[in-house]
Amino acid sequence: MDASLAQYFLTQGPFAVLFVWLFYSSRKESQEREKQLYQTIDDQNEIIKRFSTKYDIIITKLDDMEERLPFKE
C-alpha cells in the first residue's frame, strides 16, 4: 500500500504544485488589476469633481446673462 500511495503522490504531485502556483499567480494578478481599477476610478472621480465645479460656474454666468438680457418669452 505504501508503494501505491507513493506512486499516487508522484503522479499527482506536479499537478497539485502547478494548480497552487496558478491559483496564487492569478490571485496576485487580480489584486494588481483591482488596485489599478480603484486608481482609475479615483482619477475619474477627481475629473468629475473639477468638471462639476466648472459646470456650476458656467451655469451661474449663463443665469447672470439671462437676467441682463431684455428678452421676454
Q: Is 71 helix (H, G, I), strand (E, B) or coil?
A: coil
- Judged against a pLDDT cut of 80, whether residue 43 lies above it is answered with yes
For the chain, the domains span 24-73
| C-alpha cell of residue 5 | 500511495
d(CA 31, CA 56): 37
User: How confident is the model over 3-25, as pLDDT tens digits?
Assistant: 786 777 778 888 888 888 899 99
User: pTM for this structure?
Assistant: 0.55
Q: Give the position of cell 506536479.
A: 14
Per-residue pLDDT at 41: 96
Q: What is the pLDDT of residue 67?
A: 83
What confidence score (pLDDT) does residue 14 get?
A: 83
72: cell is 421676454
Task: For residue 58, give the amino acid letter.
Answer: I
Across residues 32-43, what is the average pLDDT? 97
| Region of residue 45 (left: phi > 0; alpha: psi -120 to 50; beta: else) | alpha
Number of residues written out for the chain: 73
